[in-house]
Amino acid sequence: MTENASPVTFRSGLIAALPIVLGYFPIAFSFGVAATRTGLTGIEAVALSLLIYAGASQFLALTLFASGAPVLVAAFTLIAMNLRHLLYGPALMKQAGPEAGRSKAWAWAWGLTDEVFGQALGALTRGQRFSEAYMFGLGFAAYAAWVSGTAVGALAGGGALDAWPAVGAGLDFMLTALFLALLMSILSRAALPAILAAGVATVLGTVFWSGTTGILAGMITGALAGVVATRIRGEAAQ
């Protein structure tokens, strides 16, 4: 890996997180509004973001709670939707190489959301050296934006977006748009088979079963496709 000559610090992580912050705050605001609309108090809404910090899955949690789903069912559903996060840390460490520090991985890995992972992986792909300080800056900025956005939304109350339905609809797609933008920044020919396989499996799983099934199917199919493509490239290079 070619190292970037510029220092990779906590501050540079904060700066790199700016696109994520701009995306997270309004979405978290929408979550805070939705949470109070379903009957949660402002403190409960902020606590969900502080303790769970699961992005789009928090909206699903609100739906499950509002429908009267048992707590265990809601918990297992959210865990299933977020199993993909277990792969983010190992994937980053593999891209970073053996020289990457691991002393505080247990701490910064907690902040690996989809978008933080995409930003970090993109930086490594472009030749930036791995830095735990950078990872802390990236994760902290994203986390702070999500929690503060939730707090402002909860303070605004459940009817804050009623007068702007188009804005509310746009906020629903913002997380997806942000992640797609980060994905495009690291798109390469080598990664294309895995991305296509994951996309097809996700769509089929969602259409014929459920969103949770689609996410799990896409994750597993994409990983298998990546392994197969890597093995084929290795055999061709020999």
Is there a single domain that holds both residue 121 and residue 206? no
3-class SS string, 86-118: HHHHHHHHHHHCCCCCCCCHHHHHHHCCHHHHH
CA 181 – CA 81 distance, rounded (Å) = 21
Q: Per-residue pLDDT tens for 158-172?
A: 666 666 666 656 665
Domain final residue, candidates 166, 187, 208: 187
Is there a single domain that holds both residue 98 and residue 208? no
- Sequence-distant (6+) residues with CB within 8 A of 153 are 28, 29, 30, 31, 32, 33, 34, 35, 36, 45, 160
Asked if the model's pLDDT at residue 33 lies above 80, the reply is yes
CA 42 – CA 231 distance, rounded (Å) = 51
Tell whether 35 is covered by a domain: yes
Cα 207 to its chain centre, rounded Å, is 22
Tell whether 5 is covered by a domain: no
Is there a single domain that holds both residue 183 and residue 194? no
Q: Considering only 22-26, 70-74, 152-156, which range has the smallest mean pLDDT?
A: 70-74
Tell whether 16 is covered by a domain: yes
Residue 238: pLDDT band with limits 50, 70, 90: low
Tell whether 133 is covered by a domain: yes
Q: What is the pLDDT of residue 138?
A: 93
Is there a single domain that holds both residue 37 and residue 56? yes
Asked if the model's pLDDT at residue 3 lies above 60, the reply is no
Residue 195: pLDDT band with limits 50, 70, 90: confident
Is there a single domain that holds both residue 42 and residue 144? yes
Q: What is the pLDDT of residue 43?
A: 92
φ/ψ of 100, rounded to 5, equals -70, 140
Q: 67 versus 151: which is more confidently predicted? A: 151
CA 84 – CA 94 distance, rounded (Å) = 16
Domain final residue, candidates 169, 187, 205: 187
Q: Per-residue pLDDT tens for 84-142?
A: 778 788 888 888 877 666 677 778 888 888 889 888 888 888 888 888 889 999 999 99
- Sequence-distant (6+) residues with CB within 8 A of 137 are 9, 10, 11, 12, 13, 14, 15, 16, 17
φ/ψ of 78, rounded to 5, equals -65, -40
Is there a single domain that holds both residue 53 and residue 100? yes
Tell whether 144 is covered by a domain: yes
Give this prediction's pTM: 0.71
Is there a single domain that holds both residue 154 and residue 229? no
Tell whether 3 is covered by a domain: no
Is there a single domain that holds both residue 73 and residue 161? yes
CA 176 vs CA 10, 149, 207, 232: distances in Å = 26, 18, 17, 31
Is there a single domain that holds both residue 33 and residue 127? yes
Residue 184: pLDDT band with limits 50, 70, 90: low
Q: 62 versus 148: which is more confidently predicted? A: 148
Q: What is the pLDDT of residue 37?
A: 83
Domain final residue, candidates 144, 168, 187: 187
Is there a single domain that holds both residue 207 and residue 148? no
Is there a single domain that holds both residue 180 and residue 232? no
Q: What is the pLDDT of residue 1?
A: 43
Range of the domain at 198: 188-238
Q: What is the pLDDT of residue 15?
A: 94
CA 107 – CA 140 distance, rounded (Å) = 11
Q: How many domains, the chain?
A: 2
Is there a single domain that holds both residue 201 and residue 166? no
Asked if the model's pLDDT at residue 214 lies above 60, the reply is yes
Tell whether 71 is covered by a domain: yes
Tell whether 203 is covered by a domain: yes
Secondary structure (3-state) at 55: coil
Q: Which residue has the tokens 């994937």?
A: 91
